[in-house]
Amino acid sequence: MKKILLIILPLFLSGFLFSQKKLVKKPKPVPKFNYYDEFKKISDEVFLHGTAYDNLGELTKGIGPRFSATPGYTKATEWAEKNLKEAGAENIWKQEVRVPVWIRGKESLQIKAGNGDWKNIRMLSFGNSEGTGGKDLTADILLVNDVQELVNLTTTQVKDKIIFVNYPIDPTIVSTVDSYLIAAKSKLLSASVIGKKGAKGLIIRSLTTATDDVPHAKQVYYEPDDKVKIPALTIGVQSANELEKLLKTQTVKAKINMTAESKGETINYNVIGEIPGKKDNKIIVLGAQLDSWDFAEGAHDDGSGVVQCMEVLRTFKALSYSNNHTIRVVLYANSENGGQGRETYAAYVKKKEEKHIFALGSDSGGYSPRGFSLDMSPQRRRLIFPWKEYFLPYGIYDFDQTYAIQDISPLKRLDIPLAEMVVDTQRYFDYHHSEKDTFDKVNKRELLLGATTMTQLIFMIDKNW
């Protein structure tokens, strides 16, 4: 018996000690998140304590228009710094951006049919457009409805005319974003294309889904080889319809007077705020444009995006989430008439060799969110698709689109995965780039729901990427 015990005992003890040694070296279990619960915590915090709606009121009503190179934009940068700090950003700084100085000045359009009297028409100069030097530019109007019609026109037919492009966005395309982009990219709307054929000026039908007579702004692009930069302007839908009818039966003249002019460049700022990562220096960035047109509050475009990005930071802080990666908000300068803010930030990221793992933009208005457009590799998209079940209770179902709005788009050149919040845009182009884009057009609940789903997506990226 003693002999047997002498044999068994060392085996038993060695097994016991070995098992104890294994237990000591066993790694700590990784905590498992109940994502349904985490999503609910975020939602409750935003809907009960969110400040996005009040912040939007301050930005739009307290500051108002914030066009590049104007005192309004300077006030907006100061406001943004203060509000980012209140939202919980630990690091806040301004990034110099060279922006064009363009002054709209006085502007007017009159038309005269046959031997009738001159009639005033509501209009807006294209952003960055050349003016008429404050002198009347008078010429016959030539109607163009499509690209092929323009191609077929000879220089003799176009020379010394003011071209009226009556090209509406396609109402049969359900996605208003798609219909707008198709129309906006048309060569018909290029002052350079019209000018090269000898035209004196360009008038376009506003790119809008509205049926009123409010003009909607657009930015002009001149080619470097343009010998003459012709003035360009936009008119409302009702005026466009009336002008088209007149031109079908008689000669119509236009008289344009614009004092618009460019005066070089100046410095504005991107405003940046972040909560540093607790695990590493990798960066998740949220982006929105801080500027608006010179005549508009810019509530949907893009005041809503600005305050939603701030709300993401505030919610992370309020819930004491320990974020693995740095969560950064970038509020871009000069989105409406140049895009220098986004290009400056992308150049900064490249030069600093910062590791950005994800970029999320919000520039489609403060409407009800429907999903996220994922402009990234198929492998990355597949990592996000399984999360759909957590988003469905919040009405988020669309993860199939692949576009990215312009303010974060330069980051694509750096192979950074991009996403854009997809919202219900059926009303967006009623107000887009017009004086009607005001605070009262934004619904508080829709705005906060958008901020909620943005925070939820950033939370998932931070915990899983």
What pTM did the predictor assign?
0.90
Kindly report, residue by residue over 179-211, the tens digit of the pLDDT: 998 888 888 889 999 999 999 999 999 999 999
* The three-state (H, E, C) secondary structure of the chain, written as one string: CHHHHHHHHHHHHHHHHHHHHHHHHCCCCCCCCCHHHHHHHHHHHHHHHCCHHHHHHHHHHHHCCCCCCCHHHHHHHHHHHHHHHHHCCCEEEEEEEEEEEEECCCEEEEEEECCCCCEEECCEECECCCCCCCCCEEEEEEEECCHHHHHHCCHHHHCCCEEEECCCCCCCCCCHHHHHHHHHCCHHHCHHHHHHCCCCEEEEECCCCCCCCCCCCCECCCCCCCCCCCCEEEECHHHHHHHHHHHCCCCEEEEEEECCEEEEEEEEEEEEEEECCCCCCCEEEEEEECCCCCCCCCHHHHHHHHHHHHHHHHHHHHCCCCCCCEEEEEEECCCCCCCHHHHHHHHHHHHHCCCEEEEEECCCCCCCEEEEEEECCHHHHHHHHHHHHHHHHHCCCECCCCCCCCCCHHHHHHCCCEEEEEECCCCHHHHCCCCCCCHHHCCHHHHHHHHHHHHHHHHHHHHHC
On whether residue 290 sits in a domain, the answer given is yes
Give yes or no: residues 331 and 232 share one domain.
Answer: no
Give yes or no: residues 293 and 389 share one domain.
Answer: yes
Give yes or no: residues 238 and 318 share one domain.
Answer: no
Kindly report, residue by residue over 298-341, the tens digit of the pLDDT: 999 999 999 999 999 999 999 999 999 999 999 999 999 999 99
Give yes or no: residues 112 and 56 share one domain.
Answer: no
Q: Select, from the ranges 20-24, 46-50, 171-175, the one with the highest average predicted confidence (pLDDT).
A: 46-50
pLDDT at 14 over 90: no
Instruction: Say what the pLDDT of residue 403 is.
Output: 82
Kindly report, residue by residue over 106-116, the tens digit of the pLDDT: 999 999 998 89
Kindly report, residue by residue over 331-377, the tens digit of the pLDDT: 999 999 999 999 999 999 999 999 999 999 999 999 999 999 999 99
pLDDT at 16 over 70: no
Give yes or no: residues 133 and 197 share one domain.
Answer: yes
Note down the domain range covering 135.
Answer: 105-259
Number of domains in the chain: 2
Kindly report, residue by residue over 120-168, the tens digit of the pLDDT: 999 999 999 999 999 999 999 999 998 888 888 899 999 999 999 999 9
Give yes or no: residues 174 and 193 share one domain.
Answer: yes
Kindly report, residue by residue over 404-426, the tens digit of the pLDDT: 778 999 999 999 999 999 999 99
Produce one character per residue of 385-424: b if its CB has 16 or more CB atoms within 10 Å, e if not: eebeebbeebebeebebebbbebbbbbeeeebbbbbbbbe
Residue 212: both structure tokens together: 């009123």
User: At 362, which CATH number?
Assistant: 3.40.630.10
Give yes or no: residues 46 and 150 share one domain.
Answer: no
For the residues 258-262, what does the mean pLDDT come to?
A: 96
On average, the pLDDT of the chain sits at 92
Instruction: Say what the pLDDT of residue 29 is.
Output: 54
